[in-house]
Amino acid sequence: SDYAEEPPRHPDLRINSKEPFNAEPHRSALVSSYITPVDFFYKRNHGPIPKIDDISRYSVSINGLVNKHIQLSMADIRLLPKYNVTATLQCAGNKRTAMSKVRKVRGVGWDVSALGNATWGGAKLSDVLELVGIPKLSSVTALGGKHVEFVSVDRCKEEKGGPYKASIPLKQATDPDADVLLAYEMNGEIINRDHGYPLRVVVPGVIGARSVKWLDSISVIKEECQGFFMQKDYKMFPPTVDWDNIDWSTRRPQMDFPVQSAICTLEDVDVIKEGKARIAGYAVSGGGRGIERVDISVDGGKTWVEAHRYQKSSVPYISDGPQSDKWAWVLFEATLDVPANAEIVAKAVDSAANIQPEKVEDIWNLRGILNTSWHRIKIQNSR
């Protein structure tokens, strides 16, 4: 079959779909380290994993509305200045299973672990685009290009057997501070097949779907990418829209991720003893907005206490300090007195004072994306 040459995976991953392979780590594994180990990083695919055996024959072509078209080998890309960027990648479908409990949604079911925090190593896209004559901080090229499209090597049924693709605005692609990478390393090792070997895009602060794996070509184009995942998927619709009245053209492709958090030391319905308990999890926002605060409640949201946040295990989180990673999650923890039959809730606030919505009903959408509603845990029989 097309899936005969899939790479080996860690047996502790929770598999949500086998072909294509979609899997996430268990909650407790997710927050046991600030940097997510590659083996425990969620894997989200739309087709078989490509196998690129002869790296000397691999190249990325850069074409479209630019004066010269070029081909870059891996050696060429490695000659460019190398950057390490710690960024959280989160699938727009994270927490979809909880949304589907309100009303059925279409898509792969995910618990709260369709995200991970890695240090990505590679060349900046802004440097790569300079090689074809596009200066830094351009919003349009001389030939009218306004978007940068990433086309993959993989094939998927949503594209009718064509490659997975996505685009971002040229402005973001040419902004060195946006930290968009063509990454060949993940956590200091050569990026593996599951995560895009030999080269993937990493667009920090944006839903995972735009970080195209197994990069084949980069096109400078006039309008945003017309591919399935930009135009017929990954758009946020209101709760009134369902499959019988959807008009995809009325919404724009989702880019930045909204503020999100989850508790990872407990299941949604769990049993613990009454008394002191350590409650821990993650919080992250998109667009380069950091996390300002994480609030925890043990009485269903009537009263709150602020959790302790940190970005490197044991190093206290310093907002805007030298340790601050604007693209990366914070982990949080609080040790609280948990009463009998408690309802434990977490919600985060980002640096723009955006707060997670309280109810999943209010943000229900037919594709089940961006479930950023308060994470609620029901404690039973806590005796």
Residues that bind ligand MTE (CB under 6 A): 41-46, 89, 91, 152, 154, 164, 195, 208-209, 211-214
Considering only residues 54 through 93, tell me which ones interact with Mo ion, judged by CB under 5 A.
91
Among 25, 116, 208, 287, binds Mo ion (CB under 5 A): 208
- Least Å distance, CB 64 to ligand MTE, is 19
Question: Quick check: helix, strand or coil at residue 343?
Answer: strand
For Mo ion, the closer of residues 31 and 206 by Cβ is 206
Cα of 335 vs its chain's centroid, Å: 28
For ligand MTE, the closer of residues 152 and 297 by Cβ is 152
For Mo ion, the closer of residues 85 and 209 by Cβ is 209
Report the distance separating Cα 74 and Cα 69, nearest Å: 17
- Least Å distance, CB 170 to ligand MTE, is 20
Q: Which residues pair with 74 in a beta bridge?
A: none
- Least Å distance, CB 93 to Mo ion, is 6
- State which amino acid sits at residue 92: A
The interface partner of residue 346, options being Mo ion, ligand MTE, none and the CB cut-off 5 to 8 Å by kind, is none
Residue with the two structure tokens 């978007």: 147
Contact 106, 162 (CB under 8 A): no
Report the distance separating Cα 367 and Cα 141, nearest Å: 35
The CA-based angle 48-49-50, given to 5 degrees, is: 110
Report the distance separating Cα 58 and Cα 230, nearest Å: 26
Cβ-based neighbours of 312, under 8 Å, separated by 6 or more: 34, 323
Among 166, 191, 209, 331, binds Mo ion (CB under 5 A): 209
- Least Å distance, CB 40 to Mo ion, is 17
CB atoms within 10 A of CB 14: 15
- Least Å distance, CB 157 to Mo ion, is 16
Cβ-based neighbours of 240, under 8 Å, separated by 6 or more: none
For Mo ion, the closer of residues 58 and 214 by Cβ is 214
- Least Å distance, CB 365 to Mo ion, is 15
For ligand MTE, the closer of residues 45 and 126 by Cβ is 45
Considering only residues 6 through 65, tell me which ones interact with Mo ion, judged by CB under 5 A.
44
Q: How many CA atoms lie within 13 A of 247 on its CB side?
A: 2
The residue number with the shortest CB distance to ligand MTE is 208
For Mo ion, the closer of residues 24 and 350 by Cβ is 24
- Applying CB under 5 A, the residues found at the interface with Mo ion are 44, 91, 208-209
